[in-house]
């Protein structure tokens, strides 16, 4: 009974928090529901939400990727250099997506072939990737981005991309063998291996996908901001993790869904935009995000501990 209560609270928490935030921000911010503000929120949702989609796969499988912000930065840094060199837009986009996929695949290779914890691997590559971005760009911004690149970050195009990405991820996680096995890996990796699941290969795929989603978010970032720089993306990984965990996916894997991440990404985007419009110090924004992550994980722990305790008593 206790586990069920915590489970119900946990499932309702994201929606309840979202409603409270909408009421609070609409009361204290004039024209919070204005069309222009909705566009701003939708662009914020697109960047963090697409990062969170890839992060969901990593966390569901029992892993994590702390390097998505640096992957985004290095991808668009290389892309920015190609833009500055006058390369055609289709080739620049291919380069950015390829860099993101390769960086994700490197993470997956290190995790699977060297048997290193995803936390340790991506904690290292978060600095390696950003360091490479700083070196090759000499820390310089690329500005004067041609207008053709701004289309992907303007109007409702980011929201369209966000929707397309989530539709693909819903199909993957709900209707494919690969998606179902991700849950099995996160629930019990040893059992998944004995069941014939190619765990190492699937992990390589997962981290490659995470890298690709970081690159897609980078495309939107360039289109929205009109510049490329190696310094961007700092802290994005924590916002993505927050969207996944607050949305209701268990931080240790095996339980969650892309649908929950949609709610989590909307909640996080509304929170960030609202606090920014209120003029709240960015450091306090980080503190609020950290507090929400801690609350979500605490409720998860109470839910799962209560469930295990009940099973133990039955035995």
Per-residue DSSP letters for the chain?
Answer: -HHHHHHHHHHHHHHHHHHHHHHHHHHHSTTTT-HHHHHHHHHHHHHHHHHHHHHHHHHHTT---TTHHHHHHHHHHHHHHHHHTT--HHHHHHHHHHHHHHHHHHHHHHHHHS---HHHHHHHHHHHHHHHHHHHHTT--B----GGGTGGGSTTHHHHHHHHHHHHHHHHHHHSHHHHHHHHHHH-HHHHHHTT--HHHHHHHHHHHHHHHHHHHHHHHHHHHS-B-TTTTTTHHHHHHHHHHHHT--TTSSS--HHHHHHHHHHHHHHHHHHHHTT--HHHHHHHHHHHHHHHHHHHHHHHHHHHHHHHHH-
CATH of 2-314, one of 1.10.3470, 2.60.40, 2.40.170, 1.25.40: 1.10.3470
pLDDT in tens, the chain (315 residues): 555 655 666 678 888 888 999 899 888 888 887 777 777 788 888 999 999 999 999 999 999 999 999 999 999 999 999 999 999 999 999 999 999 999 999 999 999 999 899 999 999 999 999 999 999 999 888 888 999 999 999 888 999 999 999 999 999 999 999 999 999 999 999 999 999 999 999 999 999 999 999 999 999 999 999 999 999 998 899 889 999 998 889 888 888 899 999 999 999 888 888 888 888 888 787 888 888 888 888 877 776 665 544 434 444
What does pTM read for this prediction? 0.90
Q: Could you state, in order of their start, the residue ranges of all structural domains in the chain?
A: 2-314
């Amino acid at each position: 009974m206790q586990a069920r209560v915590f489970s119900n609270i946990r499932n309702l928490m994201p929606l309840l928090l979202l409603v409270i935030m909408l009421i609070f921000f609409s009361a204290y911010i004039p024209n919070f529901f204005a069309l222009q503000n909705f566009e701003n929120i939708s662009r914020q949702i697109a960047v963090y939400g697409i990062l969170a989609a890839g992060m969901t796969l990593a966390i569901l499988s029992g892993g994590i990727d702390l390097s998505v912000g640096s992957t985004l930065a290095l991808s668009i840094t290389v892309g920015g250099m190609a833009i500055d060199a006058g390369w055609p837009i289709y080739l620049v986009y291919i380069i950015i997506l390829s860099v993101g996929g390769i960086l994700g695949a490197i993470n997956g290779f290190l995790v699977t072939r060297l048997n290193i914890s995803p936390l340790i691997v991506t904690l290292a590559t978060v600095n390696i990737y950003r360091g490479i971005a700083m070196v090759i760009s000499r820390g310089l911004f690329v500005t004067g981005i041609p207008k053709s690149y701004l289309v992907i970050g303007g109007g409702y195009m980011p929201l369209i991309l966000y929707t397309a990405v989530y539709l693909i991820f819903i199909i993957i996680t709900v209707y494919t063998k690969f998606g179902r096995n991700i849950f099995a890996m996160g629930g019990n990796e040893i059992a998944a291996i004995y069941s014939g699941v190619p765990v190492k290969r699937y992990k390589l795929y997962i981290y490659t996908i995470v890298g690709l989603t970081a690159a897609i978010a980078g495309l939107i970032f360039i289109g929205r901001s009109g510049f490329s720089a190696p310094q961007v993306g700092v802290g994005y990984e924590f916002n993505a993790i927050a969207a996944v965990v607050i949305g209701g996916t268990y931080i240790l894997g095996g339980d969650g869904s892309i649908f929950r991440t949609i709610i989590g990404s909307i909640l996080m985007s509304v929170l960030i935009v609202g606090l920014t419009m209120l003029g709240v110090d960015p450091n306090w924004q980080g503190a609020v995000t950290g507090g929400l992550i801690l609350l979500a994980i605490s409720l998860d722990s109470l839910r799962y501990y209560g469930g295990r305790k009940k099973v133990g008593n039955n035995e």
